[in-house]
Structure 1
């Protein structure tokens, strides 16, 4: 059975994702601090996806938090359009 749809219009793109609240942002950074910190402690570097400017800023902030916590500089660099690399300052890239 075929039904005709009347008054149906395509829906355009929505307003996009809403920004995180301050509590959600704090919890997200705390989680990244723990998980990325453990990965860097194990290997000396880690890679993490970052698709938006907000995600990249969050990773840079987490890198700063790790540097302050350890007393060792943690570098945060964009590898490509959708991933960031966090590593200890003396770690050789690509190893």
Structure 2
């Protein structure tokens, strides 16, 4: 691997929007080759450069930066609220 991002909250954009609280991302060239719990990725892949991302979020570099991440990610935590209600009081 060229490098591994490890220890952060890894937010995926897969069909399930998986989150890995203590996650890792293994990267070779311009390709992500593994995403998952840090323990699993670090035991399966080796790299001379492991970047500690503790205390941070690791998100895909989206082409459209105007994506309203809170509107797509945060509703998972309050699925019972209507879309127009849950953002009230949300601050950045």
Q: What TM-score do you get using the length of structure 2 for normalisation? A: 0.28
TM-score, length basis structure 1: 0.27
Question: Highest relative contact order (Cα 8 Å, sep 6+), 1 or 2?
Answer: 2
The structure carrying a bigger strand percent of its residues is 2
Q: Please state which structure has a larger fraction of its residues in helix.
A: 1
